[in-house]
Structure 1
Amino acid sequence: MKLHLKNPIVFFDLETTGINIANDRIVEIAILKVNVDGSEESYCYKVNPEIPIPQVTSEIHGIYDEDVKDAPTFKELGKTLAKIMEGCDIAGFNSNKFDVPLLAEEFIRADVDFDMKKRKFVDVQTIFHKMEKRTLSAAYKFYCDKDLNNAHSAEADTKATYEVLKAQLDRYEELENNIEFLNDFSSFNRNADFIGRIIFNDKGVEVFNFGKYKGKSVEEVLKKDPSYYGWMMNGDFPLFTKKVLTNIKLRSFNK
Structure 2
Amino acid sequence: MYVVVDIETSGGNPLHDRIIEIAAYLYDGETVIDELVTLIDPETNIPPYITALTSITNAMVANAPKFYEVAKKLVKLTEGAVFVAHNAPFDYGFVRNEYRRLGYTYNRSTLCTVRWTRKLIPGLPSYSLGNLCQSLQIQLEDRHRASGDALATVKLLRLLLEKNKGEEIIPVNGSVVSREKLHPNITSTVLGALPDETGVYFFWNDKGEIIYIGKSLNIRSRIAQHITGAKSRRDTEMVSATADITWEITGSEMVALLLESYNIKQEIPVYNRAQRRKGTSSSLFATTDSNGYLNLKISTKPEEGTVISSFASIAAGQKSLLRMVEEFALCQKLCGLYTASEGCFHNQIGLCRGACKGEELPADYNRRVNEAITKSDLPQASFFLLDKGPDPEKVTVVKIECGKLMGWGFCEKNSLSDVSMLHDCIKSFPDNRDARTIIKSFIAAPGVKKIGF
TM-score above 0.5:
yes
CA distance in 1, matches of 2:164, 2:30: 23
Residues 50-93 of structure 1, C-alpha deviations (whole Å, 9 max, x = no match): 00011111111111101000111112221222222233221111
Residues 139-165 of structure 1, C-alpha deviations (whole Å, 9 max, x = no match): 22333x134232111101111111112
CA distance in 1, matches of 2:49, 2:72: 30
CA distance in 2, matches of 1:98, 1:248: 29
CA distance in 1, matches of 2:21, 2:3: 16
- Contact 1:192–1:199 (Cα < 8 Å) also in 2: no
Considering fraction of residues, name the structure with more strand: 2
Residue 206 in structure 1 maps to residue 200 in structure 2: no
Q: 1:199 to 1:100 in 2, by over 3 A?
A: farther
What's 1:26 paired with?
A: 19
CA distance in 1, matches of 2:388, 2:56: 38
Q: 1:147 to 1:89 in 2, by over 3 A?
A: closer
Give secondary structure in 2 for the equivalent of 1:90. strand
Residue 253 in structure 1 maps to residue 253 in structure 2: no
* Unmatched segments (≥5 aa) in structure 1: 1-7, 210-216, 231-241
Q: 1:116 aligns with which of 106, 114, 123?
A: 106
- Contact 2:46–2:57 (Cα < 8 Å) also in 1: yes
What's 1:148 paired with?
A: 140
CA distance in 2, matches of 1:206, 1:248: 18
Aligned AA for 1:56? Answer: Y
Q: Kindly state the Cα deviation for residue 226 of structure 1 after the two structures are TM-superposed.
A: 4.8
- Contact 1:11–1:161 (Cα < 8 Å) also in 2: yes
Q: 1:125 aligns with which of 114, 122, 131?
A: 114
Q: 1:66 to 1:56 in 2, by over 3 A?
A: same
Paired residues for 1:1-255 under 5 Å: 8-35=1-28, 38-95=31-88, 97-111=89-103, 113=104, 115-117=105-107, 119-130=108-119, 131-132=121-122, 134-143=127-136, 145-173=137-165, 176-178=167-169, 180=170, 182-183=171-172, 186=175, 193=196, 204-207=214-217, 218-220=253-255, 226=385, 229=388, 243=391, 249=396, 253=409
* Larger RCO of the pair (alpha carbons < 8 Å, separation 6+): 1
CA distance in 2, matches of 1:39, 1:208: 33
Q: How many residues align?
A: 217
Q: Kindly state the Cα deviation for residue 36 of structure 1 after the two structures are TM-superposed.
A: 7.5
- Contact 1:192–1:198 (Cα < 8 Å) also in 2: no
Q: Kindly state the Cα deviation for residue 192 of structure 1 after the two structures are TM-superposed.
A: 5.2
Aligned AA for 1:218? Answer: E
CA distance in 2, matches of 1:102, 1:136: 19
Aligned AA for 1:108? Answer: R
Considering fraction of residues, name the structure with more helix: 1
Aligned AA for 2:2? Answer: I
TM-score (normalised: structure 2): 0.41
CA distance in 2, matches of 1:165, 1:125: 10
Aligned AA for 1:64? Answer: T
Residues 110-138 of structure 1, C-alpha deviations (whole Å, 9 max, x = no match): 34x4x433x32111112123443521122
- Contact 1:222–1:228 (Cα < 8 Å) also in 2: no
CA distance in 2, matches of 1:63, 1:199: 43
Deviates more, 1:34-43 or 1:65-74: 34-43
- Contact 1:128–1:139 (Cα < 8 Å) also in 2: no
Q: 1:221 to 1:10 in 2, by over 3 A?
A: closer
Q: Kindly state the Cα deviation for residue 199 of structure 1 after the two structures are TM-superposed.
A: 11
Give secondary structure in 1 for the equivalent of 2:140. coil
Q: Kindly state the Cα deviation for residue 207 of structure 1 after the two structures are TM-superposed.
A: 3.5
Q: 1:171 to 1:155 in 2, by over 3 A?
A: same
- For the pair shown, which has the larger CA radius of gyration, 1 or 2? 2
CA distance in 1, matches of 2:200, 2:140: 35
CA distance in 1, matches of 2:140, 2:4: 17
Q: Kindly state the Cα deviation for residue 35 of structure 1 after the two structures are TM-superposed.
A: 4.0
Give secondary structure in 2 for the equivalent of 1:253. strand
Give secondary structure in 1 for the equivalent of 2:5. strand
* Unmatched segments (≥5 aa) in structure 2: 178-193, 202-211, 220-251, 259-377, 379-383, 398-407, 411-426, 428-453
